[in-house]
Amino acid sequence: MRVVLVFLFFFCEFALGQSTLDSVRSKGFVACGTNTGLPGFSQPDSKGVWRGLDVDVCRAVAAAVFGDASKVRYVPATTQQRFTSLQSGEVDLLSRNTTWSFSRDAGLGFNFVGINFYDGQGFMVWKKLNVKSVKQLNGATICVQPGTTTELNLADYFRANRMTFKPVVIDKLEEVLNAYFAGRCDAFTSDMSGLMAVRGARGPAAAEHVILPEMISKEPLGPLVRQGDDRWFDIVKWSLFAMIEAEDLGLTSKNIDQALSGKDPSVQRFVGASGDLGKMLGLDNKWAFNIVKQVGNYGESFDANLKPLGFERGQNALWKNGGLMYSPPIR
């Protein structure tokens, strides 16, 4: 089924000679694959408006392409469905707490455009179990989602430490959490960001759960596209970098208007007042200006979406503030 879908997609694209940018333009929106609902990363708010750090990447791409960050259609996918959704052409990009790994990049036919959140895998346990370390989870029942790096690392880690566990594997986030919170599992394992977001959203009941100190893996999370369309790859890649570079240049949604008439040559190029960087992407010269004006820089997005849940910048601070966030020069 998957093979047929992928074939059909490529057949249609080639037969019509349509690039992803052309098809996005003719649809009038960017189809963005998101999580089914993770606070701070991608979730509809009480008015049904999608919000989050991952959602802001979708919005940045729409701002770059259309000059309008709202031209996005959100397509939620579970951990299992997400890759088929991108392969089949249902979505134009995935921006959904997805770990950049070799086999996904080289084996599944994707290109990761960069990293919008440096993360690692952790464990959340019931406080009443009085567990202080993952090493005390020998024999535990552990809730986990399928089709994730989480599931693979869990098996590796326990084997390497000569420990056993009973997995409870459930596809939907809501259902796996129901299982954990109903007491069917001693622990829930996922990206630290996911654990913090899920625990943070529980209000006073958060105190019943602890996140153990060990980080058992590297989980560089970032947006990805299909291989084979370099123009689209570049657009999504530089949309993300523009958010990071804007923070580096001190450009925010509040001050970017003034920057249009400023004197700094790198800012002038960035906002499209000089040079023709936009043209090189096949976009309007104000592509990056529109991203910052409508979506904000990376730090603004982080502060709006993740700070309220108790996240600190840590590794996700800019390189010049001791973190790993770094954009190649936009020139």
Ligand X SMILES: N[C@@H](CCC(=O)N[C@@H](CS)C(=O)NCC(=O)O)C(=O)O
List interacting residues with ligand X (CB under 6 A): 35-36, 38, 78-79, 97-99, 145, 148-150, 172-173, 190-191, 194, 219, 221
173 vs 318, beta carbon nearer ligand X: 173
172 vs 202, beta carbon nearer ligand X: 172
* 3-class state of residue 211 by DSSP: strand
Residue pair 227/319 in contact (Cβ under 8 Å)? The answer is no
Phi, psi dihedral angles at 325 (to 5 degrees): -75, 120
Q: Report, in Å, the least distance between residue 195 CB and ligand X.
A: 8
Q: Report, in Å, the least distance between residue 4 CB and ligand X.
A: 25
Q: Report, in Å, the least distance between residue 318 CB and ligand X.
A: 23
Q: Which residue bears the tokens 């963005």? A: 32
18 vs 84, beta carbon nearer ligand X: 84
Both structure tokens of 288? 């990056």
Q: In what order do the strands lie in the sheet with 30-34?
A: 72-76, 30-34, 93-94, 224-226, 110-112
How far lies 112's CA from each of 102, 234, 279, in Å? 10, 11, 23
Length of the chain: 331
190 vs 297, beta carbon nearer ligand X: 190
| Amino acid, single-letter form, for residue 55 | V
98 vs 297, beta carbon nearer ligand X: 98
Q: Report, in Å, the least distance between residue 322 CB and ligand X.
A: 24
95 vs 99, beta carbon nearer ligand X: 99
Residue spans of alpha helices (H) in 67-225: 82-87, 102, 149-160, 173-181, 192-200
Distance CA 209, CA 13 (A): 49
Q: Report, in Å, the least distance between residue 92 CB and ligand X.
A: 19
Q: Report, in Å, the least distance between residue 76 CB and ligand X.
A: 7
